[in-house]
Structure 1
Amino acid sequence: MGLDSMLRGTMRINERGHLEIGGCDCVELAKEFGTPLYVFDELLIRENCRRYKKAFAQNYPAESRVCYAGKAFLTLAMCRLVDDEGLWLDVASGGELFTALQAKFPPERIYMHGNFKTEDELKAAVRNKIGRVVVDCMEELERLDSIAASQNAVAEILLRLTPGVEAHTHEYIRTGQIDTKFGFHIENGVAFEAVKKALSLKNLKLRGFHCHIGSQIFEIEPYRIAIEQMFSFAAMVRSETGFAMQELNLGGGLGVRYVPEDDPPSIEAFVAAICDWVKESASLLGFELPSLAIEPGRSIVGEAGTTLYTIGVVKEIPKVRTYVSVDGGMSDNPRPALYGARYFAVVANKASQTPNKIVTVAGKHCESDILIRDIALADPEPGDILAVFTTGAYHYSMASNYNRFPRPAVVFVRDGKAKLVVRRETYDDLLRCDQLVD
């Protein structure tokens, strides 16, 4: 397994032996836009959106909603693309909501998340009549009801529940277990108290329940357990209060391929499985099929993104290691340092050549700034362009100005054309909020 298993969407090795994405030669992209550079395969993003929608249409007879998780990657252009494809949008901050609204994304197709939504964020959600606020705690129920009352509005809500399900993924990106900052716990009775509270508030309209069990998940089985838990809770609520769940949102979490040996489920297999389990639970407990929503982010944009770097230094330590240093690193991809995330790469201008040298790819920042350990590359030299795969999710959105690095540009590529959707920051941009104090 190697490069062939990592080529996705419109990626190919062209006649010059260079990596090509969306009909654009990556070496030429680096020349035109500079490096580091985030490159997104627009057609692959659109294809993934359509695969989700088609899978639901084939497997679920009731209403379904595919809500793109904006936290993975959100820009004005991405909002427009998501709208074009008819998806809903999941935002998790005032900034993400502002971006969506500036892009003219329909507010009625927006979900808002967050374990602590500020007063201003909740006011903006109500003022703009967004589709759903996913409420995370008791205090938020009261604040949101008060804000809605002050605007003479009724806010439609879901309650985020913690089903006590642990997905087998990195401990930092598990969210469905008991010990988590998110949501109302089912096991300790707090979730039921939240339902009663929500039903008593005049300016809130409870529609149903939400859960999210984690990210970068390869095993679908935990979703079955979560679905059974959610329906069991919904049945108890119906029995005790008469409220029948109308909507069920199962969050996101489907994993993607970062290295050749990764083997995530397909979008189609994932959707088919959760639809079957929802139908089974609904039938068993006598529920009409709820409106079913999921919130994929990584599985829509992750593999559509590639980061291009310029190799600057090749440092060989005899009998120890060869370091290949590139012109980016932790500031454009903090995930290796945060999660121990693994990546695959190729020398874009030597993509047809056999990888013949084991190296470690290092960034320009501190001692922990190692992007990839012990990868085979084709004779890397200063000036070569390194392409790191599967950098579409949580890279641009987590990029920083660490060491006063300007953040990279972002381009969408399609049909041989590259569209600049985020310009590269300049040194002047780094100072735009600074104030000199005498």
Structure 2
Amino acid sequence: MNARKKVAFYTLGCKLNFSETSTIARSFTDEGFDRVDFSEQADIYVINTCSVTENADKRFKTIVKQAQKTNPKAFVAAVGCYAQLKPQELADVDGVDLVLGATEKFKITDYLNDLSKNDFGEVHSCEIEDADFYVGSYSIGDRTRAFLKVQDGCDYKCTYCTIPLARGISRSDALENVLKNAKEIAEQDIKEIVLTGVNIGDYGKGEFGNKKHEHTFFELVKALDEVAGIERLRISSIEPNLLKNETIDFVSNSNTFVPHFHIPLQSGSNDILKKMKRRYNRELYVDRVSRIKEVLPHACIGVDVIVGFPGETNAHFLETYHFLNELDISYLHVFTYSERDNTEAVDMDGVVPMNVRHKRSKMLRGLSAKKRRAFYESQLGTTRTVLFESENKEGYIHGFTENYVKVKTPWNPDLVNTLHDIELTNIDDDGLVRFEFVNEFAL
């Protein structure tokens, strides 16, 4: 390989993908490549794909065109979930040279001895059963926070989801390795770590996917809480049936774990939850939210919800809407159901027309805005700690409090990646919160 070739990355999808892109990028750096922004001229463009929604599939072609426009001679490689599920479909996209499945993506540099354009996309795929090993990952250098991967794959059989087909069985990183990665992140002066995975509450299944539980998620949380140099730890999405009281109670007394939980619901109707093969009912969900608010009244709680699942009648949807409206939550991530090949749901009766799906999605997005506003208003007058981001957005610097209130103040580069105690004062026209420094900050 020629030295000082340039490589650029584009990541679609979740926090887990961002952590894996960073790890793949470091392997290029180790091989003598310079990393550049995706908008710049590069010799290789690597696209980390997602296949959770139809839109992510379509965006892939647009991103390939963008890379080709910047450099028509560049080598284009695709990795990630879509690359595992439909490798030939990606390989057939004009301009794609290499497609790597789940077992090959971390070995991408092994495939780059010849960077000349291919007439046809070359596929190195695998049967997903072969994805039975674990590769630890974390993102670094992209933001003021790092995404630390602790788990991969999923053993759940939700009827709408392709992730088990794309990522394989549930398997976890060894506790010692997670702690080693966390220490490496802390040494980079990154203030916040977000724990990520496909199903992180399932953490503990052996490194090679066996069913022997080496450690529990709670043991992981306790061990990470003791790593020196980390200011904040945030738990990303965790299934309600796997979020135990012991974890909630520990977070309530922790100095580093922040009062922010993201808990997938998907539907507020027990009938639909059953059709989705979710492992809880709405009553358990209420119990989890109640427990959090009991010990952490100021906690931020985010919710995933899917609209338009097959068989979802108007009555089912309204059941979900009213359920969420009455629940003490802070915001929603709303997903419009889209048919995915090789899932049970794709063959179910009661297909919801697309215009109805979009109408329901719009209603829930409106509810989310209302919930977020109410949560922000409940925090006015309180003192919180903010971590400032690194981007100048139209003359403002943004940041998040420990309980995920987004704040803004006029741009000041000295604030980047710093923590400050602030008093939340008022909500601006754009919905973000203004504040005053509790301890006078030297501007």
Q: TM-score, normalised by structure 1?
A: 0.30
